[in-house]
Amino acid sequence: MRKIETPEGRSVRLLRVGEQVRHILSDILARGDVHDDTLQSHLVSVTEVRMSPDLRHALVFVKPLLGQDEETVLKALRTNTAFLQREVATRVRLKYAAKLKFRADESFDEGGKIDTLLRKPHVAQDIGKEDAE
């Protein structure tokens, strides 16, 4: 069987399963299915799920709305990991239930830093020169 990969090097199957898990976790958190005061009082975005090649581990990147109480939200997610793993396992048909690990998504912060750098006058001046050529 030929293995199909994306430019990033991850297989399409890993991406598809990761996206399924992301949708399920987003749905669980949006509905308030987790009986946790912290998670019910915060809007949490599940921005990405990266599956390990054997589909046994999932690295879940999350971001609370406006980045508020990030550590508190991460602690609440980690406390409720067993419940979330069970819910994901019942909704995704895989041989093994994936172990979930929650991490804060720093990509928004990085994007903000890059945007700030690009808006600096001496950098914007160089970008303008490239457009003129």
Q: Report which of residues 3 and 94 the model is more confident about.
A: 94
pLDDT digit string (tens) for 75-99? 999 999 999 999 999 998 888 889 9
Please give, one letter per residue, the 3-state secondary structure of the chain. CCCCECCCCCEHHHHHHHHHHHHHHHHHHHHCCCCCHHHHHCCEEEEEEEECCCCCEEEEEEEEHHHCCHHHHHHHHHHCHHHHHHHHHHHCCCCCCCEEEEEECCHHHHHHHHHHHHHCHHHHHHHHHHHHC
The answer to whether the pTM exceeds 0.75 is no
Q: Select 12-105's CATH number: 2.30.30.90, 3.30.300.20, 3.50.30.30, 3.30.360.10.
A: 3.30.300.20
pLDDT of residue 130: 52
pLDDT digit string (tens) for 92-131? 888 888 999 999 987 655 556 666 666 777 666 666 655 5
pLDDT of residue 20: 94
Could you tell me the two tokens for 76?
């609440």
pLDDT digit string (tens) for 19-57? 999 999 999 999 988 998 888 888 999 999 999 999 999
